């Protein structure tokens, strides 16, 4: 006679293999072609905030940790297989298209994650539970398994799913719930639960000596009803005849060994009695020990990631920011085209409930109108317009935000999620390398330039033509003339390498030399100039001011970084410092001639 476990395994072997929502059947797991996302890149791109959103930090710690592990792994591995990326994109598309499907799966998700907690090696119960407790837990696990399978059957069976992953999950669940072993388990579970429920309470008789010393005790009966002990003095005196309420409660057990946490004859007798009750249940459950609990439970974290990816797209869409399914281009095309792209991490920071603090708008590159007023920019890397971009512009004009947006869009795309843009066409990359300003101290014996040179050398030792390289103020730890010579070599190296790249810098002459760099360096990756714009200067009481537009576009650098605007914002221009020191009584009255104007302000007015 074929056991229930064997029948389920036979069904799986008959073409109904376990499924994954992230990996098509037969696809190798971890299908990245390079180094993926480095730890430095994850920190520079502020990936932690996006991980928290996609993992949804609610629920039990074990579930949160499990979700975060999967999200971090999925985002960091940079999957390069177009079939895998499309497989995941289809699921997100179905979840966005069908709100009822999304809601039904969201309801099921909690039980799916609870099922994961019951599946080895993820059990969190103490390993030294007695036989009775193990049987009770096994019964609960199988009840939850049956419930989850039926929930998934209803959720997927009543929706017209198009995604191959959801269709495969529907077929797999249907194979489970239609199997005779499953049906037998489902029919038997109520009776097994009823058997265990006979032992909800036990009545104990204790014999006392004439001196009221307990002499012996015996178990009188088991009951399906729980009993309580009266806790008040009046209840102890007058209420002790209630059949369901005792005169006084016994001390609660500190463990399963006995009432006081130590084994004694009474509790040993009780355990033997309970084993007699539970043993038939255990023998029945043994027939279903190989039910695919663990396989079904593994769907939970994957479903959580894709549901939260769909919710992220919907949430930002309702705030006026588009997210789209990117067209997948061949890896060797080395193309990225984002129409109206933006930094999704910044958008999430700005998209907060009313009354919560928001970060500095100018520093972040956002908009005083909040998330719906964020400025979007086109981001293009190809053979025609440019693949290596030198990005210049005023301080605080959104250069870092633009650069981070490019990296985060690439990560979301290769995770199979929607990307922050109105329209997108993208080739996968084998790795993302970044070099942003470090807040850490350099190693002993190393200056800032040493550290920057070491990091940059490490990038060129590992990057390929299929990589994405994001450099933010690299090689700034020396004099401007020397920095420009070093930066020219780095940009020429990027052209030789052929990778997609952004080089953020205040070295405007470097951006002015793009034609020379292209003419004197072989390679197919055209070097171009991007400019983060600012409106024309406007005279204020404190001097000229340039409003940041946060628009980034191809163009000739303007030649100044307008650092004086930043200085005035924080009150550290010469004129503001002089006024502050006068208010404090440290200096005399301000001079009335042009001596109060800073060098940067005079240079700005003169156009030099």
Q: Which of 117-126, 357-366, 435-444 has the highest mean pLDDT?
A: 435-444
Going from the C-alpha of 420 to that of each of 317, 322, 331, 467, 504, the distances in angstroms are 10, 6, 20, 20, 21
Closest residue by Cα to residue 558 from 365, 391, 400, 361 = 391
Residue 107 sits at the vertex; the CA angle it makes with 105 and 112, to the nearest 5 degrees, is 75
Confidence of residue 225 (pLDDT cuts 50, 70, 90): low
pLDDT digits (tens, 9 = 90+) for 453-501: 888 888 899 999 999 999 998 776 566 667 788 888 889 999 999 999 9
Can you identify the CATH homologous superfamily of domain 322-562? P-loop containing nucleotide triphosphate hydrolases (3.40.50.300)
pLDDT reading at 116 higher than 70: yes
H helices of 327-477, in order, are 344-350, 361-364, 399-414, 448-462
Confidence of residue 524 (pLDDT cuts 50, 70, 90): confident
Mean pLDDT of 21-26: 92
pLDDT reading at 151 higher than 60: yes
For residues 317 and 303, give the distance between their C-alpha atoms in angstroms, rounded to a whole number: 21
What value does the mean pLDDT of the chain take? 77
Residue 82 pLDDT: 96
- Give the three-class secondary structure for 408: helix
pLDDT reading at 369 higher than 60: no
pLDDT reading at 35 higher than 90: no
HEC string of 14-68?
Answer: CCCCCCCCCCCCCCCCCCCCCCEECHHHHHHCCHHHHHHHHHCCCCCHHHHHHHH
Strands 388-392 and 500-504: parallel
Mean pLDDT of 98-102: 94
CB neighbourhood size of 160 (10 A): 8
Every domain of the chain with CATH number 3.40.50.300 lies at 322-562
564 Cβ contact list (under 8 Å, min separation 6): 543, 544, 573, 598, 600, 601, 604
568 Cβ contact list (under 8 Å, min separation 6): 542, 543, 545, 576
pLDDT reading at 329 higher than 80: yes
Mean pLDDT of 24-46: 81
Going from the C-alpha of 578 to that of each of 481, 564, 566, the distances in angstroms are 32, 15, 17
Residue 273 pLDDT: 60
Tokens of 409: 């869009």
pLDDT reading at 509 higher than 60: yes
Residue 390 pLDDT: 95
pLDDT reading at 255 higher than 50: no
Q: Which of 160-169, 263-272, 442-451, 576-585 has the highest mean pLDDT?
A: 160-169
Confidence of residue 243 (pLDDT cuts 50, 70, 90): low
Which is it for the CA torsion 185, 191, 197, 203, positive or negative? Answer: negative
Can you spell out the DSSP letters for 116-138?
Answer: HHHSTT---S-TT--HHHHHHHH
Residue 453 pLDDT: 81
Q: Which of 180-184, 209-213, 544-548, 597-601 has the lowest mean pLDDT?
A: 597-601
Mean pLDDT of 66-85: 94
Residue 358 pLDDT: 33
CB neighbourhood size of 56 (10 A): 18
Mean pLDDT of 226-248: 50
Residue 9 pLDDT: 43
Q: Which of 186-200, 328-342, 370-384, 389-403 has the highest mean pLDDT?
A: 328-342
Strands 527-534 and 388-392: parallel
203 beta partners: 221
Residue 51 pLDDT: 94
Say what the pTM is.
0.78
Confidence of residue 68 (pLDDT cuts 50, 70, 90): very high
Residue 23 pLDDT: 95
H helices of 395-499, in order, are 399-414, 448-462, 480-497
The larger pLDDT score, comparing residue 8 to residue 44, is at 44
pLDDT reading at 204 higher than 70: no
Tokens of 502: 């952004």
Closest residue by Cα to residue 326 from 402, 429, 412, 433 = 412
Confidence of residue 73 (pLDDT cuts 50, 70, 90): very high
Mean pLDDT of 246-266: 49
Tokens of 423: 């329209």
Mean pLDDT of 419-447: 80
């Amino acid at each position: 006679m074929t056991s229930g476990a064997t029948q389920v395994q036979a069904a799986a072997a008959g073409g109904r293999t376990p499924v994954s929502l992230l990996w098509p059947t037969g696809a190798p797991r971890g299908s990245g072609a390079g180094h993926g996302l480095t730890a430095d890149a994850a920190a520079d791109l502020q990936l932690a905030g996006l991980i928290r959103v996609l993992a949804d930090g609610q629920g039990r710690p074990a579930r949160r940790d499990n979700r975060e592990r999967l999200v971090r792994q999925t985002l960091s591995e940079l999957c390069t297989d177009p079939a895998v990326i499309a497989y995941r994109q289809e699921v997100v598309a179905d979840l966005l298209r069908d709100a009822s499907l999304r809601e039904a799966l969201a309801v099921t998700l909690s039980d799916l994650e609870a099922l994961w907690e019951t599946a080895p090696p993820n059990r969190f119960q103490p390993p030294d539970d007695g036989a009775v407790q193990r049987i009770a837990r096994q019964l609960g696990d199988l009840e939850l398994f049956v419930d989850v399978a039926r929930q998934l059957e209803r959720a997927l069976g009543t929706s017209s799913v198009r995604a191959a992953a959801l269709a495969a999950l529907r077929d797999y669940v249907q194979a489970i719930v239609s199997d005779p072993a499953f049906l037998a388990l489902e029919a038997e579970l109520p009776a097994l639960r009823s058997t265990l429920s006979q032992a909800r309470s036990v009545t104990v008789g204790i014999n006392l000596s004439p001196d009221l010393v307990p002499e012996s005790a015996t178990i009188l009966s088991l009951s399906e009803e729980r009993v309580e002990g009266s806790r008040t003095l009046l209840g102890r005196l007058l209420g002790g005849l209630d059949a369901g309420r005792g005169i006084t409660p016994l001390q609660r057990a500190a463990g399963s060994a006995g009432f006081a946490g130590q084994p004694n004859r009474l509790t040993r007798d009780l355990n033997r009695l309970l084993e007699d009750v539970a043993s038939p249940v255990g023998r029945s459950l043994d027939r279903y020990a190989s039910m695919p609990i663990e396989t079904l439970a593994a769907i939970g974290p994957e479903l959580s990631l894709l549901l939260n990816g769909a919710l992220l797209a919907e949430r930002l869409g309702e705030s006026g920011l588009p997210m789209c399914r990117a067209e997948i281009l061949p890896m060797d095309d080395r193309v990225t085209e984002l129409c109206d792209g933006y930094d999704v991490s910044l958008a999430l920071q700005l998209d907060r409930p009313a009354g919560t603090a928001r970060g500095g708008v100018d520093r972040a590159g956002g908009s005083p109108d909040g998330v719906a007023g964020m400025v979007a920019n086109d981001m293009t890397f190809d053979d025609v317009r440019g693949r290596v971009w030198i990005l210049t512009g005023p301080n605080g004009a959104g250069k870092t935000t633009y650069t981070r947006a490019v990296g985060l869009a690439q990560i979301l795309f290769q995770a199979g999620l929607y990307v922050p843009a109105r329209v997108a066409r993208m080739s996968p990359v084998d790795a993302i390398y970044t070099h942003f300003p470090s807040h850490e101290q350099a190693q002993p014996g190393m200056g800032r330039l040493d550290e920057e040179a070491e990091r940059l050398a490490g990038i060129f030792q590992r990057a390929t033509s299929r990589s994405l390289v994001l450099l933010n103020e690299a090689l700034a730890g020396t004099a401007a003339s020397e920095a420009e010579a070093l930066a020219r070599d780095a940009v020429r190296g990027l052209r030789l390498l052929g990778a997609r790249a952004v080089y953020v810098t205040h070295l405007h002459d470097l951006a002015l030399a793009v034609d020379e760099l292209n003419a004197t360096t072989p390679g197919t990756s055209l070097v171009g100039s991007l400019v983060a714009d600012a409106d024309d200067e406007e005279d204020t009481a404190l001097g000229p001011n340039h409003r940041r537009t946060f628009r980034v576009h191809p163009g000739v650098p303007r030649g100044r970084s307008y650092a004086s605007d930043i200085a005035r914002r924080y009150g550290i221009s010469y004129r503001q410092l002089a006024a502050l020191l006068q208010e404090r009584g440290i200096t005399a009255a301000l001079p009335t001639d042009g001596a109060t104007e800073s060098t940067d302000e005079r240079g700005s007015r003169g156009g030099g």
